[in-house]
Amino acid sequence: MKRLDHQNIVQLKFFFFSSGDKSKEEVYLNLVLEFVPETVYRVARHYTKQKQTIPLLYVKLYMYQLFRALAYIHSFGICHRDIKPQNLLLDPESSILKLCDFGSAKQLIKGEPNVSYICSRYYRAPELIFGAIDYTCYIDVWSSGCVLAELLLGQPIFPGESGVDQLVEIIKVLGTPSREQIRQMNPNYQEFRFPQIKAHPWHKV
């Protein structure tokens, strides 16, 4: 985070190490970040309780800033890997959005394997559900698309209690992936038995 300097990324003010209470061998890294009072998640919940959705103008403003932040970190090869409304801080007065929580972030190196069980439920890209370990920063783009849909709909677009449940919800909207598409997501995936469902018309989503 010391390398990152962008208007739409939460600023690291200071950091220090401390030892654990039970064992001196336990060392904790403590981060002091700039204070931003709100999150997109809490703002969205406020509108949901009023049985409304966030005004389109604000949705555009928030998403524009999110994609600016992603373009910046992706230029360094850094993948956030946990894009969700809770990790989008918001200043209610200026409407400035700041991406936070880089606990799962990693600089991806081509050919170097990564863990597939990453990213929060509802926002996981299909390749992660299929168990891919050689993915790209595009998984952040998928998660951002899920955030966009959630802000427009007032609820998660691909809910599910498990990876299989979530995959079913994705197939309901995008249709059944072909074998070639599955191989592109994860060449080692062998189970190809999925119900054949046509993609849902976007204007009816």
Give per-residue pLDDT as tens, 16-75. Answer: 988 877 777 888 889 999 999 999 999 999 999 999 999 999 999 999 999 999 999 999
Rounded mean pLDDT of 68-97? 97
Residue 199 pLDDT > 80: no
Question: Domain boundaries in the chain?
Answer: 36-204
174 compared with 203, residue with greater pLDDT: 174
pLDDT above 90 covers what percent of the chain? 60
Domain 36-204 maps to which CATH number in 1.10.510.10, 3.20.20.80, 1.10.10.10, 1.10.1740.10? 1.10.510.10
Residue 189 pLDDT > 70: no
82 in catalytic set: yes
List the catalytic residue out of 5, 82, 91, 140.
Answer: 82
The reported pLDDT for the residue numbered 128 is 92
DSSP the chain: -TT---TTBPPEEEEEEEE-SS-TT-EEEEEEE----EEHHHHHHHHHHTT----HHHHHHHHHHHHHHHHHHHTTTEE-----GGGEEE-TTT--EEE---TT-EE--TT----SS-S-TTS--HHHHTT-SS--THHHHHHHHHHHHHHHHSS-SS--SSHHHHHHHHHHHH-PPPHHHHHHH-TT---------PPPPGGG-
